[in-house]
Amino acid sequence: MNIALILYLSLIQLLAFPVSERLHEVYAIEDFESGEIGGLPVGWFNQKGNLATKDFSEELRPTYNYQILEEQNNKFLRFEGTYGKHMSYPLINKDGVDIFETPMLSWKWRVHQAPKNANEDDDDRNDVAASIYVAFDMGRVALFKKVPKTIRYTWSSTLPEGTELSKFYGNQKIVVMGQGDNTNGDWQSFSRNIVEDYKRLFGDNPPAKPIAILILSDANNTNSPAKADYDDIMLHSDRSN
């Protein structure tokens, strides 16, 4: 098959989808390539979403224990430490976000060390090497305040892959993606249909635009170190998988 024919067939396949669908097959959230090595990614905020990482004080910055690193011309975000804090990437104010068009959330983790004996189902041991949240609209009242509905995908120390939990009066759903230390130091890719997960876990349809994507590595409850890397966080359609 000659090159001209290949290009023609590719064009026909592309035009088979409406323009609106073609333009929104992938929504890139973060690949960390634009970040400064040793720094925090630009465009991210604290958990509440009211303080950008670029505005962190010199005293606040090191308390997060995340930093952008580079290997083989690829940048990524590493957590290494004991005390972790949420970092939030807001979606509610972003144009072009519609999870019914791009329902697949994909990301990469490389887990080097998981907190010892941590367990997401035990409040006294609720630490994880790595986790990624999707925060949706506000849920029921929990602890005298409204909290958002979230789906939290975790890499667990002790819970088996596939475990699902419900926390915070049903407002947070946890889905365990893997378990233990990754002694080979390999990157692992993950993909979840967050629309279908939301329907199954909460029993109704999600809003088209989530509030934010959040990440958290944490080991302070078990007082043991954790080390994990994050990369290539994106939303995409089934066709672009």
Apex 56 CA angle, 81 and 68, nearest 5: 50
Q: Is the pLDDT of residue 23 over 60?
A: no
- Over residues 139-167, the pLDDT tens digits come to 666 556 677 899 999 999 999 999 999 99
Domains defined for the chain, CATH in brackets:
3-27+83-236 (2.60.120)
- Per cent of the chain over pLDDT 70 is 85
In sequence order, the 6+-apart residues with CB closer than 8 A to the CB of 159 are 119, 120, 121, 176, 179
Helices (H), 30-179: none
Has residue 17 got a pLDDT over 70? Answer: no
Mean pLDDT of the chain: 87
Instruction: Check pLDDT > 90 for residue 116.
Output: yes
Does pLDDT of 62 surpass 50?
yes
Q: Could you read off the pLDDT of 166-214 as tens digits, one per residue?
A: 998 899 999 999 998 766 678 999 999 999 999 999 999 999 999 999 9
pLDDT reported for residue 209: 96
Q: How many CA atoms lie within 13 A of 45 on its CB side?
A: 13
Kind plus residue range of the DSSP H or E element containing 190:
strand 188-193
- Is pLDDT at 25 greater than 90 in this prediction? no
- Complete DSSP assignment for 119-146: -TT-GGG--BSEEEEEEEEEEEEETTEE
Distance CA 127, CA 93 (A): 30
User: Model's pTM, two decimal places?
Assistant: 0.86
Distance, CA of 181 to CA of 212 (rounded, Å):
28
232 has pLDDT over 60: yes
Contacts of 62 (CB under 8 A, 6+ apart): none
Lowest mean pLDDT, pick from 42-46, 92-96, 178-182, 227-231: 178-182
Question: So what's the pLDDT on residue 143?
Answer: 57
Question: DSSP secondary-structure letter at 7?
Answer: H
Looking up tokens 């609720």 gives: 126
Q: Inform me whether the pLDDT recorded for 8 exceeds 90.
A: no
